[in-house]
Structure 1
Amino acid sequence: MAGLTINNVTKKFQAFEALKDVSIDVREGEFLAVLGPSGCGKTTMLRIIAGFEQVSEGEISIGGKVVSSPKLNVAPENRRIGIVFQNYALWPHMSVAENIGYSLKIAKTPAAERENRVAEALKLVDMEGYADRAPANLSGGQRQRVALARCLVATPELVLFDEPLANLDVHLRASMEDEFADFHKRTGTTIVYITHDQSEAMALADRIAVMDQGRLVQLDTPHKLYHEPATPMVASFISQGMVLPVEVSGSGVDGTCTATLFGQPITLRCRPSDAQKGAAQACCRSEMVRIVGPNDPGFDGKIIRVVYQGGLARIEFAPDAAPDLTVHFVQPDPVTLEPDQPARLAFAGGWLIPRQDEQ
């Protein structure tokens, strides 16, 4: 296994910058997810790491060796990288074993060694009894495991996953998430996992790199991304956080500050350097919303939408103080709230998003 260093990488396609000055240091044995909306630069990042594209500026190093720069681009087959694609890319006319061992055959690996390595790869993905099967006779999850075994048989130093669960149904996705987590635990392989699905990233990754418009906007653990988003984009993108206007009135103690939100006094968690008086934005999560009585601290408004989701409902609420904004929360069964119903809510807390001019 090997670490990966992305150092001030920019990728231009004529006048368009697909990546803009991105730097990420992936430790040996780390599981890094690269997450972001469509068009954020995830696929370009994968193609540059794999060697399918050359950087315009900066460097890519694998195991301390530079493999890409404006003057150098090591061929993909010489990078010791394995790639697992979302469409499996299995040869339909070959058996499982033949698919897995094809790269070894091309490399003229002796037959006995090839068979042993194919058997080891099948064991790693719990597919020992499927060597003679045709891909057409496998489920989607089994095909994905064969694609992973084909990647592992070449003993890569780094494994790239290109949205590998995008073509699977919800049940199979959950099962394959467990498979990938177990695989990483068993092998300690360095993994870069490209995805637009934040639930996959949050469940699997040691750290997550959030991309937006070609830039790296935050690189942190799943827990910190959720509780301490660095920008409004991260706050709203991760688990549908609410980005709401606040007026900071002063600093508190132990990393908190006082503020008002829709007229409600509120204590927010914050970095000490951000507790400056004035207008700012806060990230508030739905679990911090509660319904309060008419005389309790809070803010008034009305219910605008109730979406039943089985066992609970997502409630959308327009505050009287800012009717163009939406606050959302959940109510478990029995769901008693209805559209156009007035209500009074309160936030139990939130996170003061760092001011962008301080980033």
Structure 2
Amino acid sequence: MAGLSIKDVTKRFDGASALDGVSMDVADGEFLAVLGPSGCGKTTLLRLIAGFETLTGGCIRIGEREVSSRHVNVPPEKRRVGIVFQNYALWPHMTVAENIDYALKVARISRAEREERVRRALALVNMEQYGGRRPASLSGGQRQRVALARCLVAEPRLVLFDEPLANLDVHLRASMEDEFADFHKRTGTTILYITHDQAEAMALADRIAVIDHGRLMQLATPQTLYHEPANEMVASFISQGMVLPATVESPEIDGHCRVRVLGQELVVRCRKGERPRKDARICCRASQLTAVTARKPGFDGTVTRAVYRGGAARIEFEPDGTPHLGLHFEQPDPVTFAAGSRARLALTSGWLIPVVEAA
């Protein structure tokens, strides 16, 4: 088991930056998810840590050992890093036990030690009874557990997951999330988990690193990302947050300040030291929007779409005078809003997005 340190890591391909000055530290035994839209640099980061790519600048350490820099590039097989891929990558002509044993055999480990390590790895993923089977006879979830066992048998210092649940159906993914969480709890292995699935990251990770266009946007716990996004990208990306223009009308007191949003005044949460300013932005969630009567504080607009989802509907709404500003909220049964109907909404709370300081 080992921690991971990434300092000012940059990677360029033909002059274009895939990663730009990314820094983060993963503690021993921590489960860190790396989250971001397609093409943001997640997989490039994993490949740099594994040693499949050489970096352009910066430094990567696993434990106390420097494994990548402009002057050092430790080969992948000497980094003691395990990788669980999206496509399992199991040998179809080998049994489960033979797949797990293969790397140990190549490393010339004695037969007795290999058998014991394979047995322990199968036990860790609850697959002891499947050692003699071929991969084709297993379910997708079982194959993923075999891939995990094959990774663990090499006793890696760090385990990298490359979107391991992307090829599984919804029900199996939920089951495998439980498997991964249980595995991490039992072994205490340091894990870096690449995914584009927010629910997956929120369910599994101790902390989440959000990356966009090769830059680290925020590294925080799932709760902090949701309730206190550091910038507009994180605010809108996490859980379909809505970013609204606001004017800050009072300084911060006890973590709150008064703002005006779409003509409505309300108190929102904010960072310490916030001062009155124009051109501010707040982040709000669907649960913080509610329909109100004409006499209540709020703002008017038109329902553009109502999408029924069983027991409730997602109501999409455009405030008057700001047609580009699409809002949404949930209405439980009975659903009374329809496309084209008029409504008045009110914000009940929100988070004042901090000013992004220039680098």
Tell me the TM-score normalised to structure 1 length. 0.98
Which residue in the other structure is 2:329 paired with?
Answer: 329
Structure 1 SS opposite 2:230: coil
Structure 1 SS opposite 2:150: helix
Residue type matched to 1:158 in 2?
L
Which sections of structure 1, spanning at least 5 residues, go unmatched?
Answer: none
Q: Is the 8 A contact 2:247 2:276 kept in 1?
A: no
1:22 aligns with 2:22: yes
Structure 1 SS opposite 2:265: strand
Which residue in the other structure is 2:113 paired with?
Answer: 113
Q: Is the 8 A contact 1:274 1:355 kept in 2?
A: no
**Where in structure 1 do 4 or more consecutive aligned residues deviate above 4 Å?**
none
Within 2, Cα distance between the matches of 1:204 and 1:28?
16
Within 1, Cα distance between the matches of 2:102 and 2:274?
56
Structure 1 SS opposite 2:38: coil
Task: Please list, as runs of the form range in 1=range in 2, the aligned pairs for 1:158-197 lying within 5 A after superposition.
Answer: 158-197=158-197
Within 1, Cα distance between the matches of 2:322 and 2:349?
19
Which segment is superposed worse, 247-256 or 176-185? 247-256
Which residue in the other structure is 1:320 paired with?
Answer: 320
Which residue in the other structure is 2:75 paired with?
Answer: 75
Q: Is the 8 A contact 1:57 1:69 kept in 2?
A: yes
Q: Which string of whole-angstrom CA distances, capped at 9 and with x for unpartnered residues, describes residues 260-313 of structure 1?
A: 111000111111233332121110000011111110001011111001111111
Which residue in the other structure is 2:143 paired with?
Answer: 143
Which residue in the other structure is 2:43 paired with?
Answer: 43
Which residue in the other structure is 1:128 paired with?
Answer: 128
1:92 aligns with 2:97: no
Q: Give me the CA root mean square deviation.
A: 0.9
Q: Is the 8 A contact 2:245 2:261 kept in 1?
A: yes
Deviation, 1:246, is: 0.7
Structure 1 SS opposite 2:335: coil
Deviation, 1:358, is: 5.8
Task: Please list, as runs of the form range in 1=range in 2, the aligned pairs for 1:260-299 lying within 5 A after superposition.
Answer: 260-299=260-299
Residue type matched to 1:336 in 2?
T
Within 2, Cα distance between the matches of 1:236 and 1:35?
14
Count of residue pairs the alignment pairs up: 359
Deviation, 1:352, is: 0.5
Deviation, 1:14, is: 2.4
Q: Which string of whole-angstrom CA distances, capped at 9 and with x for unpartnered residues, describes residues 20-50 of structure 1?
A: 0111000000000000001110010000000
1:356 aligns with 2:356: yes
Deviation, 1:55, is: 1.2
Which residue in the other structure is 2:65 paired with?
Answer: 65
1:238 aligns with 2:238: yes
Q: Which string of whole-angstrom CA distances, capped at 9 and with x for unpartnered residues, describes residues 124-153 of structure 1?
A: 000010000100000000000000000000
Structure 2 SS opposite 1:235: helix
Q: Which string of whole-angstrom CA distances, capped at 9 and with x for unpartnered residues, describes residues 146-182 of structure 1?
A: 0000000001010000000000000010000000000
Q: Is the 8 A contact 2:252 2:274 kept in 1?
A: no
Within 1, Cα distance between the matches of 2:142 and 2:330?
36
Q: Is the 8 A contact 1:283 1:351 kept in 2?
A: yes
Tell me the TM-score normalised to structure 2 length. 0.98
Give the percent of matched residue pairs that are identical in Structure 1 and Structure 2: 65
Which sections of structure 2, spanning at least 5 residues, go unmatched?
Answer: none
